[in-house]
Amino acid sequence: MPTNRFTLACALTAAAVCVGALPAHAQPGPAGLRQFVAANDDHRDRDRDDARGRDRDRDDDRHGRGREPIKIKIIGFNDYHGNLQSPGTFGVNTLVPAAQRPAVGGAEYLAAYVARLKSQNVMNAVVGAGDFIGASPLISALFFDEPAIETLNKIGVDFNAVGNHEFDKGSAELKRLQNGGCKLTDGVPDPNSCKGLGSNAPGTFDGAKFKWLSANVVETATGRTLFPPYGIKTFHGAKVAFIGMTLKGTPSIVTPTGVAGLEFRDEAQTVNALVPHLRAQGVQAIVVLVHQGGFQTSPNVGDINGCDGDLKNADGTDSEIAKIVKGLGNGVDLVISGHTHAAYNCSSNTVDVKSVNGATVSTPRPTGLPNRQGRLIPVTSASAFGRVLTDIDLTLHPRSHEVIAVSATNRLVDRTDVAINQAIVTDPSVKNVVDGYNALVSPLANQVIGTITAPLPNAANGAGEMPAGSLIADAQLQATQPAALGGAVMAFMNAGGVRNPGFAVAGASYPYNVTYGNAFTVQPFGNSLVTLTLTAQQLKDVLEQQFTGCRGQTAQRVMQVSNGVKYAWSASAAPCSKIVSMVLTPTDVTVTPPVATGAPETIVANGVVLNPTRTYRVTVNNFMATGGDGFTVLLGGTNVLGGAQDIDALTAYLNAGYKAPKPAYDPTLPALAIPRITQLP
């Protein structure tokens, strides 16, 4: 259907949903993009010329001579990651004592809260800022994230931006989740697909009833966007457009096979190019859904409605989301963001919350992030895992349909709310889906695979070392240390692959029996292990590549290292010169406790590689081996040998060494040689 005819059909309804696609001749390449941006600048000039007339319209309204403003409710969230069940407790800020933080989230609670907000205004839209799937708990991941899609359908999502985790299994699998149909394994339906508990019938999978949007993700073979670039909802003739995008850096944090054949374009340039196309359709209100974000500047109390430091980085530079907003023209009225799993509310409803002499002091302040013209744009994010919803009231001028007010509030998805619990009793449809999948997955999820003596979080210390990361690296070394399985002498694990909360289960007592479900939560990607040969020089080079500015690295990404490896890095040293020392003590991790089998060998001393051509067998996961997280040095590895899946290695490690009647895993055990990483000035 031609775009103009589709838009006209939508305009005839009170609250219609449209999905826009640029006609083939309008897909902006580099030259076309510049033309679109130039046209957008021209349009803003015309907008400024018309400002006086709009002011007269507003004056008419103030004196009762015009229609009432159009009020629309937008309900936003992000980074659901298939969390059908509660991820635990959460507070509106860190000043709330842990014991007073309510349990939050869960698909049925999200559905009930969304229904409550929708009941406050029939003119509404439910939207997402990406990562609705991928890195999911076992209850969703075992069934190829079909449960996530089915619950999101019942929650009533309209549009969702693609996030980086939407590409974990590749664009073809993402299209299946959009369009429906069973997952095929070896040409036949996989037994864990099409359970259909939230679809029309058992043995089926309906696909997403909402639309993924991918304005800046282009198929290189066709030059067209993977999914529509935007969607439009029309309310009493007023059109609101939602442009959906993911971060342009997605290829550096996703396995290359997941983004094969795709190009990820600049976020702000993509939006600016679309604005005149939307204006030509009569759209005056534009919302950007972008899977990129920031953090409130430390120190802060993480208030869900705060915007401490206006999301600047600790060094005062702009965060990634601030950079995007700074590139946007005046056509954009609201940005709903994600990716960082942080909650913030940079809008007219921002509240600065501080602890002053032991008392909580709240100071409301209007804010936003500046766009290209310096205008402050509301920017929100709703944490992650269904813990928070962003409740946004958008007010449009009754005739021009321009946005005249944005009021945003982040609200906890509080499981203790009496009325919400009653609503779930009245309509248990979403709960029934969750309970059904839980029953299917429980026999596997509840299997005890080992015991730990203390919490092992995925939070890093100052040097970048994570308790959970050390355990995982050891598991991967154990799986590949035998000569027939790779002959590895060390293993590296990317920190981003050690998922929250690590092995630190909320409310658990210790010693704690780790279940397969716990392990899968920490290692949900299904990556396989890869053992390759690196020279001593390559070892130093890849360690240097952990730090921003070295060999194209865009962020600090400290790898977790296995037993036997110790290294030190200097925080003040220049990029590519931070690794001061590295020592390898050959250690047998196939026995419990592990045992050193050789004398310590110095690989790097005082920043110098002592024997650059000496080789070592090193294990990483396939994501890293193919250059993921910017570790391109690993692409030069030789004698590559594939191995087990990461979750299988982790399970086997705990089962063999730390499951009763054997002693529990104790991170303070001297034989584990923790800490392994040292930060120097």
Average pLDDT for 505-530? 93
User: What pLDDT does 201 receive?
Assistant: 95
- Summarize pLDDT for 316-331 with one digit per residue, the tens: 999 999 999 999 999 9
Residue 140 predicted with pLDDT over 90 = yes
d(CA 308, CA 300): 7
- Band (66; pLDDT cuts 50, 70, 90): low
**DSSP 8-state code for residue 495:** G
User: What pLDDT does 626 receive?
Assistant: 87
Residue 8 predicted with pLDDT over 80 = no
Phi and psi at residue 554, in whole multiples of 5°? -105, -10
User: What pLDDT does 252 receive?
Assistant: 83
d(CA 47, CA 40): 10
**3-class secondary structure per residue, 379-411:** EEEECCCCCEEEEEEEEECCCCCCEEEEEEEEE
* Residue 24, strand partner residues: none
Q: Are strands 376-377 and 369-370 parallel, antiparallel or unpaired?
A: antiparallel
Q: Give the global pTM.
A: 0.85
Average pLDDT for 661-670? 97
User: What pLDDT does 383 receive?
Assistant: 97
Q: Is the dihedral of CA 28, 32, 38, 43 positive or negative?
A: negative
The pLDDT > 70 percentage for the chain reads 91
User: What pLDDT does 50 receive?
Assistant: 41
Q: Which two tokens stand for residue 111?
A: 């559905």
- Summarize pLDDT for 255-305 with one digit per residue, the tens: 888 999 999 999 999 999 999 999 999 999 999 999 999 999 878 899 999
Residue 55 predicted with pLDDT over 60 = no
Could you give the 3-state DSSP secondary structure of residue 352? strand
User: What pLDDT does 526 receive?
Assistant: 87
pLDDT, the chain, mean: 91
Residue in 267, 242, 523 with CA at minimum distance from that of residue 371: 267
- Summarize pLDDT for 587-633 with one digit per residue, the tens: 999 999 999 999 999 999 999 999 999 999 999 999 999 898 999 99
- Band (510; pLDDT cuts 50, 70, 90): very high
Residue 5 predicted with pLDDT over 60 = no
